[in-house]
Structure formats: C-alpha cells, structure tokens
Amino acid sequence: MKNIVIIGSSGGNLFNLGGAKPVQLLEEILKQAHAAGLNVKNIQFIAAKESMDTAKSNTAAGIYGYKENAVLPLFEASLKEVNHEAAKLDQMIADSIRNGEVDGIIAMSADTKAVNKETLAAAIESKLPIVGTGGTSMAAMTSMGANVISSSGTTGSTSRTRAISFISSLCKHWNIKFNPIIGSYEKAQQTNAAPWKNINIRGIMVSSLPGFIAMALILAVSQIPALKGLTDIFDLMINALPVMLAVIAAKQVSELDEVSIIAGVIAGVLSVQGGIIGGIIGGIAAGILVQFFFRKCIEWKFPITTVNIVSGGLSGLIAGLIVYYLIGPVALQAGNLIKEIIEQTVAFNPILAGVLAGVLIWPAILGGVYHAAILPIVLLEMEKTGNSFLGAVDMVGLVMVAAGINLANIIAPRDRGESAVAAPGFLINMGFGTFVESAYPFMFSNKIVFGGALVSAGIGGALVGLFNVRGTAYVPSFTAPFLSNNITGFIIAMAVPLIVAFLITLAANKLPAKKKAAKKSEDEVAV
C-alpha cells in the first residue's frame, strides 16, 4: 500500500472553490484515496476564514490534520500563530519522508517558502511524485526541482473533480487500478458502473415538483386584475420547465455536482422546444455524457480545469443539439398526445372519468404506480395550463380523504393512542397538501375505513368532473382553490370527500365500542 500526505492551504481562488470548507474538501480526497487502496499518512492543511489573497496575520485560521481516521482541527488561532504551529507539523512530515514512510504528496496552494518548505525539500531529495493545484505554488515547486507529475489551476474545478484528478494521476504513476467514486458521500457510485443505472424518472419528476407549484402560484396571482401582467412571467416559467428538468436529470445521472449542473443547463436550454419530455431526455443524455467525457479526460491527463470545461460544456452541447434537431419535435408531440388523451377522456364523460380516477388513485399510490405514472401526467398537464385534472383528483381523492380519516381519529379514536398518531397527519394534510400515507394505519386496520376511502375519493373525483375543475395538490389546502380554474367548484369538491371520509371513519370507530358494550350486556344477562 502506498502512503501519501496532503499539504497546503485554503488558498486564494481555491477558497471560493472548496477551500472554505476544509473538512469536506479533505474528506473527498480521503474517499478517493481509499477507493484506490492508498493510505493517507498525514495531513497538514491551513484553512483561513477568508481568501489568502486578502488574509492578514490576524485573520482567524486553523490547522487541519488526520487523526483516528478522521479529518480534525488541530489548532485554531490567528493566521500568524497557526503558521508558527504548522511549521512543527511540516518538520514532522519531512522527517517521515526521509524515513521512507511516504510515497507521494498532494499539494493544494502550498507555501513553498514557509510552512511547507521542509516537506517539499524532503520530497525533492526523495524524488517523490507530487500532484496538486495552485498555479503559483506548483510552478515554484517545479522550478525547485520537485517531481511534479500533474498540476493544474483551480478555476472551474470542484472538491470532487480535484480529488479524482489527484488520485488518478498518482495511480497512473504507480500503475494502480483506480475506479473513482463520483457519487455522494452517503451513496457512493463508481465510474465503472453504468451511469444509466442512475436514471430514475420518478425521482426527476418528484424533485421538479416545486418548480411546477411555483408556476401554478404565478398563474393564480395573474388572475387578479391588477396583476394581469404576470401572465408573461407564467409563459416564461413554462419555457423554463424543460431547463429545470434537464438540470435535475443531469445531476442525478452523473452525480458530478456543478459540472453536471452546467451540462444540464446547456442541454435544457436547447431542449425547450421539446417540452418537459425533451428536457428530461436532454438532461439524461447530458448526465451520461458528462461521466463519459470526465472519465476520458482524466485518462488523457487533461488539467482539471479543462476536464470540467470539456465534460460540462461539451456534454450539454451535444445532448442539447441532439434533442433540438432530432428528439425535440417527437418529444413535444408525445407530450401533447398524452395531454390530448386526458382531455378527450374527460370531455367524453367528465363525471365518470372523475369517479374512475378517484377510485383508482388510492390503489395506484398503494401499488407504487402514482409517482411513476400519475405524477408525470399531472406535470404534463400543468406544463400546458398551470393546473391539472388529475392534480385536482389528487387533492380531493387522496389529501382530503386522508384528512377526513385523520380528523375522525382525532375526535373519536378507537384507542387513545391513535389520536396522537392522527393529529400530525391531519395538520400536514391540511397545511401542506401531502402525506396521505398518514391514513394508511387506519385504512389497513379497518376494512370499512379502507372502503370509505375509496367511496369518498370516487365522490370527490365525480365532483371534479362535474365542476370541470383543474387544480393541484402539494399546496396548503386553503390556497388550493385559488390555484384552480374553478374556485367554488374546487372548494365543494374538496369539502365533500373530507366530510364523507370523516363520517365513515367515525362510524367505523364506534362499531367496536358498540359491539363491546353489547357483549358486556350479554355477559351480565348470562350471569
């Protein structure tokens, strides 16, 4: 196993690109080093509270080291005092190099003339391979005769891309196989795994929901006569939806943070004409290409700044142009076809369509179909009009029904403990328009309550069809009617299923008590 040390500081430009968060920056290097089977022998990293370009001797700073397999602050004081203390650690690392205990060095904005001079002198004597960033410091090391095998500036880089570049260069030098970890800290995903395995349409849709709700809010406010000018903002936001979805898709697929975000933005802008389906396709393609170009550029030993420019810019451009010229028109037609089918179905018999949607929406969410199939259709409807038929059914058939069930269990629970369980669920149902899962315990434990939920949802759906309501869930219940196309109709459609679900659940909860009382009377008569 090769031993490496990490030296340097939070730097000037580096401060704005990860240096201000030293623990996260260093942990990313540790993660990549462990993936390659390298051992981090020691760390001497000086982090100031501001960029070294403007820092003074009295600027607050700290030394970060490596103890007990963790990055820890070793000493905190003014920058002058920290530098004095860091010199001791510098000498310690230099001694370990001369004792043959270190095989390579990672340097970030290192100080070649003061706090890192002993380490670098020992490294030059031992001809240790050095990789790092910081244009001035790396150039100084090279002129001193250091064995710099890879160097780059920090512009355009991130903590993750720098760490991968450092470890990749050292591994190439030592002929060690290295599969970089490019996923999150909690969920590592290696680059040798197919990026398309990260594609999750449901995850993309759910993550994008706040953007659609924001659009619905603008639509509602624009209905106020004095604010009619906001209709232009609404149209602008519709065009922004594909960009938003592309960014989310690219980031989820590639997991390369800022690099993938840039690729997603470029691809999304070029995918606008394809609607939200075009945006999703463009973002997914950009995410896959980001991983491909990033890996190739690292293999070709491009400077990390160039790696990010190529993988972020080129990936987004290629994916976006493909959607713009080839996929966009087809994607737009597909989206319009789905919306047209919904509209025609509702137009044929709106009440029947509402009943079916209301009754089936509970089995859909229980079976895991809702987020995979219904939510995308809701968002496709909202892309066109800012609200949705199925979105209205969601609010009345799921949220209001769950609220009715929870309310009944607050007022007249079968057991005292159920009231405490139902109260938070009811508040979230009414206050945020979500968390229908809160009704599951009561539905699963009582067939009457479960059947009541289906009946109530069917009635709510019928009212949505009757009043031709278009709306959305995921907003506070008292604001939902104002985001719809029919305020009065939506209020009625929301109130009725809530009351029906409440009454059925209330009756179901009282049955066990009546049976228990009747049994007690029978026992007394028998005695």
The two beta strands, 39-48 and 60-67, are antiparallel
Alpha carbons 521 and 425: distance in angstroms, whole number: 36
Alpha carbons 524 and 526: distance in angstroms, whole number: 5
Torsion (CA) 203, 207, 208, 212 in degrees, nearest 10? 120
Alpha carbons 123 and 377: distance in angstroms, whole number: 61
Alpha carbons 478 and 429: distance in angstroms, whole number: 11
**CB-based contact 263:311 (threshold 8 Å):** yes
The two beta strands, 70-78 and 104-108, are unpaired
Q: Give the per-residue pLDDT at 513.
A: 60
Spell out the alpha helix ranges (H) of 301-395.
304-308, 315-322, 328-348, 350-366, 375-385, 389-393
Q: Give the per-residue pLDDT at 187.
A: 45
**CB-based contact 7:105 (threshold 8 Å):** yes
Q: Give the per-residue pLDDT at 185.
A: 41
Q: What is the pLDDT along the chain (527 residues), one digit of tens a residue?
A: 899 999 999 988 889 888 899 999 999 999 999 999 999 999 999 999 999 888 899 999 999 999 878 899 999 999 999 999 999 999 999 999 999 999 999 999 999 999 999 999 999 999 999 999 887 888 899 999 999 998 877 776 788 888 988 999 999 999 998 888 776 444 444 444 566 677 888 788 888 888 888 888 888 788 778 888 888 888 888 888 999 999 999 998 887 778 899 999 999 999 998 988 999 999 999 999 998 898 888 878 787 778 888 888 999 999 999 999 999 888 888 877 877 888 888 889 999 999 999 999 999 888 877 877 788 888 888 887 788 999 999 999 999 999 999 999 999 998 878 898 899 999 999 998 988 999 999 999 999 999 999 999 999 999 999 999 999 888 889 999 998 999 999 999 999 999 999 999 999 998 866 655 555 555 555 55
Q: Give the per-residue pLDDT at 183.
A: 61
Report DSSP state, residue 2: -
Alpha carbons 11 and 108: distance in angstroms, whole number: 8
Alpha carbons 157 and 311: distance in angstroms, whole number: 11
Note the maximum CA span of the chain. 105
**226, two tokens:** 């004095």
**CB-based contact 421:458 (threshold 8 Å):** no
**CB-based contact 503:406 (threshold 8 Å):** no
Alpha carbons 292 and 415: distance in angstroms, whole number: 58
**CB-based contact 229:399 (threshold 8 Å):** no
> What is the fold of 3-174?
Rossmann fold (3.40.50)
**302, two tokens:** 């491009």
Overall pTM > 0.85: no
| CA-based torsion, 39, 44, 49, 50: positive or negative | negative
Give the start-to-end residue ranges of the domains of the chain: 3-174, 197-338, 349-519
Alpha carbons 242 and 255: distance in angstroms, whole number: 19
**CB-based contact 481:490 (threshold 8 Å):** yes
Torsion (CA) 290, 292, 294, 298 in degrees, nearest 10? 180
**CB-based contact 285:335 (threshold 8 Å):** no
Burial of 265 (0-12, 13-18, 19+ CB in 10 A): buried
Burial of 343 (0-12, 13-18, 19+ CB in 10 A): middle
Give the other-Cβ count within 10 Å of 190's Cβ: 12
Alpha carbons 399 and 387: distance in angstroms, whole number: 16
Alpha carbons 6 and 128: distance in angstroms, whole number: 13
| CA-based torsion, 472, 474, 477, 479: positive or negative | negative
Ranges of beta strands (E only) in 171-307 are none
Alpha carbons 189 and 195: distance in angstroms, whole number: 9
Spell out the alpha helix ranges (H) of 153-230.
159-174, 201-221
